Amino acid sequence: MSEALLVINSGSSSVKFAAYDVLPDEALVRIAHGQIEGIGSAPRLKVWGSAGTALANQAVSISTDPALGPQEAFAQLFGWLRAHAGGRTLRAVGHRVVHGGEQFAQPTRVTPDVLARLDLLSPLARLHQPHNLAAIRAIAALRPGLPQVACFDTEFHTTQDWVAQAYALPRHLSEAGIKRYGFHGLSYEYIASVLPAHLGDVAANGRVVVAHLGNGASLCALQGRRSVASTMGFTALDGLMMGTRCGSLDPGVVLYLMTGLGMSVQAAEQLLYEQSGLLGVSGVSSDMRTVEASGTPHAQQALALYAWRLRLELGGMAAALGGLDALVFTAGIGENSASLRRRACQDASWLGIELDEAANAAPTHGPRRISTAASRVAAWVIPTDEELMIAQRTQAVLQGAAAQEVGASITA
Ligand code: ADP
């Protein structure tokens, strides 16, 4: 009987997923993807079948009980898979887990002990980690014995030198794990894996900055397709301005919020994670499309600040690499906002990027070069595929190749 792999990327109010057919030669073919949106408010399961599969062009939308919690949401998803995945056996579930801390430098099969250790990292990735782990627990309760593998966004950055990861804090704090970890690693790993196919071997292995610009946003400096530096640090709050997160901030501001303005720790945390960034500055939305369409003076300022922060951080990443050979845009904003890319490339003309205006504005999808043939530095758009990366890493753990097995399947 043929087998399938399920990939889960679980957020606060939505769960994205993708299902893959495992072919007899172990190749992975995506058969469907979708999301459960509005958990806790107006839950809907949406599924899109992949082109060329029996499920092609199917889009289902199932409205269910507003009280639907993660476990019921996953029960719906498993029900749908049973009914539509053509009798395949589910081999395992691979999860995106944002923070692996110092202990988890490889994809890891989840056990109760692993789960308990990952819980301890939740305060470092408050927006993501608790939801990532809740999904694992919900599936364990539904399908005890089904192998689950955690794949970490921090893993890709473990190649960085000490100096790129360190803060200038007293040494005992860095020894206690307070250092720059970097995130979006699954996206960067995917982009690094496809760079040679698009840029050619030489440029792909040169000095490349990847701009992952989604609701969360960061830059990664790659040399030889390995992470050398990243704009995110100890938490996913640092670096670029994001949808609702502030990005880099003088730590004195945080102290002042609490000591000068009397804000509680929880209120300050909420402000920096959920009320800042595009949303806070524009007063309109955290969603780039809405901010771009708005046209209010504050929305214009938010766009200007977004581009300014990107300009400065890109300069920093190029400095870390000692120059730049290619810039790659990816994720929701990077792949879709021609105006943001235009602004960013114009701001980076001093680095040697010459934008091909027509290529940038063309309503094309898929990997494409957006710099002119004469441009000294190549600029590209390459859609990311974190789900495929998770599926491949999960498969490798199950095959024992990259395994850091810590016991039997979970029951908690
Ligand atoms: P997540 O980090 O949640 O995975 P995505 O990678 O899906 O986020 O990116 C979401 C962001 O992409 C939102 O700000 C959204 O407005 C933006 N986006 C998506 N499509 C477009 C578009 N056509 N033009 C501008 N921004 C877009």
Q: Residue 87 pLDDT more than 80?
A: no
CA atoms of 37 and 66, how far apart (whole Å): 11
pLDDT band for 404, please (50, 70, 90 cuts): very low
Report how far ligand 1's centroid is from the alpha carbon of 381 (Å). Answer: 14
Architecture of domain 185-381: 2-Layer Sandwich (3.30)
Query: Counting atoms of ligand 1 from 1, which one is nearest the CA of 384?
Result: 6
347 is catalytic: no
Q: In the chain, pLDDT over 70 holds for what percent of residues?
A: 91
Report how far ligand 1's centroid is from the alpha carbon of 63 (Å). Answer: 24
With CA atoms as reference, report the closest residue to 215 among 6, 12, 7.
Answer: 12
Which residues neighbour 324 within 8 Å (Cβ) at sequence distance 6 or greater? 207, 208, 209, 318, 351, 352, 377
- 153, 238, 356, 385: the catalytic one is 153
Query: Which residue, judged by its Cα, is nearest atom 7 of ligand 1?
Result: 332
CA atoms of 200 and 176, how far apart (whole Å): 41
pLDDT in tens, 180-232: 999 999 999 999 999 999 999 999 999 999 999 999 999 999 999 999 999 99
pLDDT in tens, 289-341: 999 999 999 999 999 999 999 999 999 999 999 999 999 999 999 999 999 99
Q: In the chain, pLDDT over 90 holds for what percent of residues?
A: 74
Tell me whether the CATH fold assigned to 3-152+387-398 matches the one assigned to 185-381.
Answer: yes
DSSP secondary structure of 252-315? HHHHHHHHTS---HHHHHHHHHHSSHHHHHHSS-S-HHHHHHH--HHHHHHHHHHHHHHHHHHH
Which residues neighbour 50 within 8 Å (Cβ) at sequence distance 6 or greater? 29, 30, 31, 32, 33, 56
Note whether 236 and 128 are within 8 A (CB): yes
Report how far ligand 1's centroid is from the alpha carbon of 289 (Å). Answer: 7
pLDDT in tens, 141-191: 999 999 999 999 999 999 999 999 999 999 999 888 899 999 999 999 999
Query: Which residue, judged by its Cα, is nearest atom 22 of ligand 1?
Result: 336
Most informative mutation of 183, 333, 381, 389 for ligand 1 (most atoms within 8 A of CB): 333
CATH number of 3-152+387-398: 3.30.420.40
Which residues neighbour 350 within 8 Å (Cβ) at sequence distance 6 or greater? none
With CA atoms as reference, report the closest residue to 13 among 394, 286, 231, 291.
Answer: 286
Most informative mutation of 215, 343, 384 for ligand 1 (most atoms within 8 A of CB): 215
Report how far ligand 1's centroid is from the alpha carbon of 293 (Å). Answer: 13
Most informative mutation of 98, 289, 335, 387 for ligand 1 (most atoms within 8 A of CB): 289
Q: Residue 410 pLDDT more than 50?
A: no
Note whether 288 and 337 are within 8 A (CB): yes
* Rg for the chain, CA atoms, rounded: 21
**Average pLDDT value over all residues in the chain:** 90
Q: Residue 114 pLDDT more than 60?
A: yes
Per domain, the residue ranges of the chain are 3-152+387-398, 185-381
Q: Residue 139 pLDDT more than 60?
A: yes
Note whether 242 and 230 are within 8 A (CB): no
pLDDT band for 66, please (50, 70, 90 cuts): low
Q: What is the pLDDT of residue 411?
A: 34
Mean pLDDT of 57-63: 56
Pocket of ligand 1 (CB under 6 A): 214-216, 243, 287-289, 292, 331-333, 336-337
Report how far ligand 1's centroid is from the alpha carbon of 23 (Å). Answer: 32
Query: Counting atoms of ligand 1 from 1, which one is nearest the CA of 216?
Result: 2
Mean pLDDT of 86-92: 85
CA atoms of 242 and 240, how far apart (whole Å): 6
